[in-house]
Chain A
Amino acid sequence: DAKTTQPPSMDCAEGRAANLPCNHSTISGNEYVYWYRQIHSQGPQYIIHGLKNNETNEMASLIITEDRKSSTLILPHATLRDTAVYYCIVWFAGGTSYGKLTFGQGTILTVHP
């Protein structure tokens, strides 16, 4: 799996958009970008994933650059409950792969009042 690089920590004011970057310069054409978050000691929570196109769901938006070497997770209106560790994971999903997720360092997002 391609390696990802994320900033170790970020701050965001409540109600503002949180933009979390991720670099994955060695990503392959058939690898997806997945985002999970972990709120203190809870199970990792799936947020969103994408391959090439930008994606949006009820939780967040995912912007993937055209060359696919980086992406940004956007939480449009951050709340205190969004304080968590956010993991960007590159994952191959297809063929006979029953791929494990490789969690890297992640970004600790702190949302403050």
Chain B
Amino acid sequence: AAGVIQSPRHLIKEKRETATLKCYPIPRHDTVYWYQQGPGQDPQFLISFYEKMQSDKGSIPDRFSAQQFSDYHSELNMSSLELGDSALYFCASSLRGADTQYFGPGTRLTVL
């Protein structure tokens, strides 16, 4: 079965640079969630989208923004990167927002 696709899988950036992470949900899924997992921590919710509209927001820094496109894929844009942004970023998708979330393999972002 098709799974959630995330790209890139690994990304290395310098401080103050920008990064864009992409997420392609499972076909027919209309809801996308972004989570951040710092070293030794549990995943923390950042933001979610349902039918291209932001549906919920967690502890997402103002330097980060995200959107969902007409084909339901989503992009997380991160600017003015800081060392503390180094983490695993997971995307999950579900159908109608009230169904089981399925996670992608994640993007490992390293900020030097």
Contact = CB atoms under 8 A, between A and B. Distances in A.
Interface of A: 34, 36, 38, 41-46, 49, 87, 93-95, 97-106
B48 A98 contact: yes
Nearest to A103: B42
Given A49-B100, A98-B48, A100-B33, A43 B106 contact: yes
Contact of B48 (A45, A93, A100, A103): A100
A43 B56 contact: no
Contacts of A41: 88, 106, 108
B50 interface: yes
A101 B97 CA distance: 11
Interface residues of B, number: 27
B42 A43 contact: no
Contacts of B55: 98
B31 interface: yes
Contacts of B108: 41
B17 to A, nearest CB: 23
Interface of B: 4, 31, 33, 35, 42-45, 48, 50, 55-56, 58, 88, 90, 92, 97-106, 108
Contact of B90 (A34, A43, A94, A95): A43
Given A41-B106, A42-B106, A97 B98 contact: yes
A27 to B, nearest CB: 17
Given A43-B4, A45-B103, A105-B42, 12 more contacts: A41-B106, A43-B106, A44-B43, A46-B100, A49-B100, A87-B42, A94-B98, A97-B97, A98-B55, A98-B98, A100-B58, A103-B42
Contact of A46 (B58, B102, B104): B102
B58 A93 contact: no
25 contacts: A34-B100, A38-B43, A43-B4, A43-B92, A43-B106, A44-B92, A45-B103, A46-B101, A46-B102, A46-B103, A49-B100, A93-B98, A94-B98, A97-B97, A97-B98, A98-B56, A99-B97, A100-B56, A101-B33, A101-B43, A101-B45, A102-B45, A103-B42, A105-B42, A106-B42
